[in-house]
Amino acid sequence: MTLLEVAGVSKTFPGVRALDDVSFALQPGEVHALVGENGAGKSTLIKVLTGVYQPDDGAVRYRGEPVSFGTPLDAQRAGISTIYQEVNLVPLMSVARNLFLGREPRNALGLVDERRMNREAADVLTRYGVRTDVRRQLGTLALGAQQMVALARAVMVDAKVVIMDEPTSSLEPREVETLFGVIRDLHAQGIGIVYVSHRLDELYQICDRVTILRDGRVVHTGPLEELERIRLVSLMLGRDMAEVRREGVTGFTGEHEVQGAQPVLRAAGLRNRHKLHGVDLAVRPGEVVGLGGLLGAGRSETLKAIGGALPLDEGTVEVAGAPLRRRTSVGAVKAGIALLPEDRKAEGIVPSLSVRENIALAVLPRLSRLGLVSEKKIDTIVERFMTRLRIKASSPHQRVGDLSGGNQQKVLLARLLATAPKVLLLDEPTRGIDVGAKAEVQALVDELAAEGLGVVLVSSDAEELIEGADRVVVLRDGVVVGTLDGADVSTEGLLRTIAAASSAAASAATQEEAS
Amino acid sequence: MTDVAVRTPAQRVRAWLPAYGVYVAIVVLLLFNIAFTENFLAWSNLRIQLIQVAPVVIVALGMALVIGTEGIDLSVGSVMALAAAFIPLYLGYGVVAAILVALIAGVAVGAVNGLLVARVGLQPIVATLALLVAGRGLALVVSDSQLREIRNPGLVELGSGSLFGLPYLVWIALALVLTVAFVVRRTVFGRRLLAIGGNRPAAELAGVPVGRVLVTVYVVSGTLAAVAGVLAVARIQASDASAVGVLIELSAITAVVVGGTPLSGGRVRVWGTVAGALLMQLVVATMIKHDLPSSTAEMVQAVIILVAVYAARERRSR
Amino acid sequence: MTQDVTVPPIAPPPESALRDERRADRLDRIVGTVQRQGALAVLVLVAAIGFAAFPNFRSLANAETILISAAPLALIALGMTFVIITGGIDLSVGSLYVLGGVVAAYASQWGVLAAFLAPLLLCGAFGVVNGVLVAYTRMAPFIVTLAALLGARGLMRALSNEGSETYLVRSEAFRAFGSGEFLGLAYPVWLALALFAGGAVLLGRTRFGASVYAIGGSEDAARLMGVAVRRTQVNVYVLSGLLAGLAGAVNAARLGSGVTVIGVGVELDAIAAVVIGGTLLTGGAGTVAGTIAGVLLLGVIQNLINQVGSVNISWQQVISGAFLAVVVVVQTYLTRLRRIQ
């Protein structure tokens, strides 16, 4: 009997079809990999399975019965537990308390039997390789140990299905082994596991079957063993090896003319505790350098480190030969670095302010005298960029929060360009925006490069990266594992580097960590 | 997807009500009073109402700026007391010197608030609570817990004199309202403040010097509270550190919130704040004129706050 | 209920990792102890100074004075502790305290039971309103309870002829409760001690207490982990209202009347005591024992300043405020230290 099944499920959000006629089935005792790039619909599918979202169309069946979970809690009570990428426990409570919250053992008086709880917690956790004082605050444990506590809790609630969303992203290799031990054990007990990860090695090590999502559709489902690694990557990224169609896919026009031999941006030896382990990067004026790699490889972190938004343990950043002294966002902006953040809503737009205010935000000092802003200068600059970027708003005074995603992104780009930057760091510039706006943004990147800016482009969209970048630097676990140049900048080259890197770089990164 | 979002009528009402409801309420209350309250339009009555509301308005202006950054300033009442306490001590050096010292006290408290919030990273509510407690104590220590009468002619004139028929107090409040409205609308500082309240990480990434702006905001709030303290002394012709500005933080927060400034930051309604203070004053005045006790007014105010905040509350996303 | 999981033996972690772990454990324990017991340590220190410097401070009578005058604040702070641990705040308790006193004095004409029940019912009802508004409308606790502060104050003044009428306590038994002693301690002190003991058990040893901590630590995680978030929120505000009303009744019994001119800023004293006692204003951590220490510390400081005599008693506020600032700055620092390692 199929344990958990969705049939023909669709889910639409304003402007986006997140799931389109998706079917997926999980058998008891199966470890089922669910893969796809960002925006492919994985998280939406998980949310449908766990009752966070209700599907517009289609059915969810659990142990043969049609179900409709109203909340994640309902799903959990029915036996579907989820372990999220960010640990969803209470960091200030003790480890044991977290493990037993809501199910604390009680004594004859109905009071929590702390001693028994701690003893049982220690017993349970030892089996998960966590050896720590269970009275410690959870938040003081390493992330890997926290993840194990979450897993232990999920299994303790009599789960029939365990959904793991990137469970290893914060684990050390040793902890990954422990996790796999637990998974094998659950597997043997007939528990179904949905395993979401971008680490190909892991998938091949632990999973039986795979379902690949792309653009809200299932593009492949079947036994994992029979699927070649490079084929898996190509399915994920949506590039069929056999038929690489070039023309008209993106708004990019092709090569850029690199102006001058001296790099406008040079970053060397960027290190940040867990995220970056010595990344070097150089960009010349007029050049678009792509950062390739799968999720969690350190692409966004590299951009943030250069933009002063991620503290560095080591490393230098130079703009046009001058080293940045103040390692803050303020310093970076002043030096001519403009960063388009990945998360438009959380770190980009100020939704309560108008289009006009948002565009002018970073250049206010330049548009003012004695602290008074010049409305005329702002109008000029706002009009210029609204025209140039074809920002569609009812007026410059419309709230940015009310605009479409594409126009919000253009507003942010306008804000960056208004600072007349030398270096543009673009993190997923076209994610979640409609096709028209996407092509416009891509054409704009070309234009800016032609004007002599140095551009660093991060994109999960392989086409965008290949066609937009002159050079692609491939990252894996916070280190550079390859650079594609000239003719190598191709889908095949990229896929090969990523696929190869996923086995080679893992060990390199581990050594890095140990040193 | 439409490029320009179209709002449904219901959404329009939802957006309109918190912003302009306060004006509607004022108009309704004014009409009621004109119709049913004896001598309501008499100049003497209006004058008293304006004088009474002036200090609240001044303090609320600073509060509105602080709330615009998603903060709160509980210390304003104590700053008023501190300013009031310093006045008699320095009157010997002239009225200007005394006022200056009082204002400096406000700047100092504001700076401490700002540093605790922006640099140490304390929650605004607890940082300013500490100064609420300590500031009042300091004011009492400075004044030796004595009520002191003020006979300085300059101050007395400031408190009771008029220009073109309007008391100086009201002129000053009006000037400050215009200034703050101007600052919010037209200055770099004003825009940065709103950006910080609207989305702090975004403001930081856009190169806004967040720490500096926050400190300045709290300094402005402290200074405005000190101004209110000086005016309070001038009006009652006495400095009483134990009574000046008690609970004014609540009146100020009420005025700001009722005026449609969201507690979640990112927007400051200066004129709304003024209207909020006027509305609350009007409620009390109306009740009194109609022989309803001020206790009833308090309960009505409580309901008005809840209605205003309920109307303005953010819908849960998703 | 626990499914049996047998994990194959894994290689033991390297020695260096274990050492790091042990060091982290030790640091964590030290920091945790400072956070929890800091107020108590300072209380002992300040009391020791008082003992050494002021003969009058040493007397048993003085100790009793400190305890009995701290009792009402202690009750209020107890409720506030629960509210703050959930990540909320209750500004209405000062008004409810006064309202409770007035209602208790008025109701004492129908006997001692009425004198206790009336304030509990009325203030509990305010707590229900606070809790329901916070939990179900998602309005900020700050603003909801600010409105309740005004509402309760208005009601109190409406009941007492605009604050001008002070009802005298008519029940002898009620008055006796305020002034009587048992084993050398006043009844209100016993009451406070008993409630604190109960509060400690409730917070530390019941599932309700676990929910309180979980909500304050992370409301979203708590919801996902099956905690009845809304019900718990309503309960803590009701508890806070009840305790504020009870504090008012206790005070009325002690003073023999329902005084209307007290209670301004009591909510702030209570918040200060709770925070000084090591409870995080951001929620998720704190203890009832710390709150006692915080309340007593404020009381002892006041008492000592009274002892000095020549000094303006307002120094007490200055010191309390400065103390509060220092405590929260240290708390912030310690919390960061604990997170980083």
Tell me the pLDDT tens digit for each residue of A117-156: 999 999 988 888 788 888 888 887 877 788 888 888 888 8
Q: How many domains does chain B have?
A: 1
What is the pLDDT confidence band of residue C198, given thresholds at 50, 70 and 90? very high
**Which of A102-111, A176-185, B99-108, B162-171 has the largest mean confidence?**
B99-108
Mean pLDDT, rounded, of chain A: 83
Which H or E element spans position A222? Answer: strand A217-223
Q: Which residues of A376-410 are buried (b: 16+ CB within 10 A; e: fewer)?
A: eebeebbeebbeebebbbeebebbbbbbbbbbbbb
pTM of the model: 0.83
Q: In this structure, is residue C254 part of a structural domain?
A: yes
Range with the lowest mean pLDDT among A15-19, B2-6, C248-252, C307-311?
Answer: B2-6
What is the pLDDT confidence band of residue A435, given thresholds at 50, 70 and 90? low
What three-state secondary structure class fits A10? Answer: strand
The superfamily CATH assigns to domain A265-514 is P-loop containing nucleotide triphosphate hydrolases (3.40.50.300)
> Least CA distance to B185: which residue of chain A?
A373
Mutate to test the interface with A, among B1, B119, B205, B314 (most CBs of A within 10 A): B205
Is A361–B267 a contact, with Cβ atoms under 8 angstroms apart? no
Radius of gyration of chain A (CA): 25
What is the pLDDT confidence band of residue A503, given thresholds at 50, 70 and 90? low
Average pLDDT, integer, range C30-46: 79
**Which of A268-277, B139-148, C228-237 has the largest mean confidence?**
C228-237
Is A361–B191 a contact, with Cβ atoms under 8 angstroms apart? yes
Is the Cβ of C20 closer than 8 Å to some Cβ of chain A? no
Range with the lowest mean pLDDT among A253-262, B54-63, C7-16?
Answer: C7-16
Q: Please give the pLDDT value at position B309.
A: 83
User: C125 is in which domain, residue-wise?
Assistant: 71-287
What three-state secondary structure class fits A13? Answer: strand
* CB proximity under 8 Å: B 209-238 to C: none
Distance from CA of C209 to the nearest CA of B (A): 24
* CB proximity under 8 Å: A 117-146 to C: 120, 124, 127-129, 131-133, 136-137, 139-140
pLDDT single digits (tens) A318-344: 888 888 887 888 888 888 999 999 888
Is C210–A189 a contact, with Cβ atoms under 8 angstroms apart? no
Token readout for A289 is: 């350098």
For CA atoms B279, B281, B282, B287, give the dihedral sign. positive
Q: Per-residue pLDDT for B88 more than 80?
A: yes
Q: Please give the pLDDT value at position B272.
A: 92
Is C314–B145 a contact, with Cβ atoms under 8 angstroms apart? yes
Which pairing describes strands A65-67 and A57-62: parallel, antiparallel, or unpaired?
Answer: antiparallel
What is the pLDDT confidence band of residue B310, given thresholds at 50, 70 and 90? confident
Q: Please give the pLDDT value at position C24.
A: 67
Is B266–A364 a contact, with Cβ atoms under 8 angstroms apart? no
Q: In this structure, is residue B17 part of a structural domain?
A: no
Domain-wise residue ranges, chain A = 4-237, 265-514
A440 vs B80, which has greater pLDDT? B80
Q: Which residue in the block uniquely carries the two structure tokens 């250049």?
A: A363
Is A14–B267 a contact, with Cβ atoms under 8 angstroms apart? no
Mean pLDDT, rounded, of chain B: 87
Residue B252 CA to residue B230 CA, distance in Å, equals 17
Q: In this structure, is residue B2 part of a structural domain?
A: no
Instruction: Give chains near B: 3+ CB pairs under 8 A.
Output: A, C
Q: Which residue in the block uniquely carries the two structure tokens 């637990």?
A: A182
Average pLDDT, integer, range A244-262: 60
Q: Please give the pLDDT value at position A241.
A: 47
* CB proximity under 8 Å: A 403-442 to B: 403-407, 415, 419, 434
Q: Write the single-letter amino acid at A59.
A: A
Q: Which residue in the block uniquely carries the two structure tokens 């700026």?
A: B65
Q: How many domains does chain C have?
A: 1
Q: In this structure, is residue C279 part of a structural domain?
A: yes
Judge if A4-237 and A265-514 fold alike in CATH terms. yes
Token readout for C177 is: 């409760």
Residue A513 CA to residue A141 CA, distance in Å, equals 18
Give one word for C15, left, alpha or beta, with left for phi > 0 and alpha for psi -120 to 50: alpha
User: B239 is in which domain, residue-wise?
Assistant: 22-29+39-312
Instruction: Give chains near A: 3+ CB pairs under 8 A.
Output: B, C
Q: In this structure, is residue B291 part of a structural domain?
A: yes
Q: In this structure, is residue B254 part of a structural domain?
A: yes
The DSSP secondary-structure symbol of A267 reads E
What is the pLDDT confidence band of residue A247, given thresholds at 50, 70 and 90? very low
Is the Cβ of A83 closer than 8 Å to some Cβ of chain C? no
Which CATH code is given to the segment(s) A4-237? 3.40.50.300
Q: Which residues pair with C210 in a beta bridge?
A: none
- Provide the H-helix boundaries in A373-461: 375-388, 405-418, 435-450
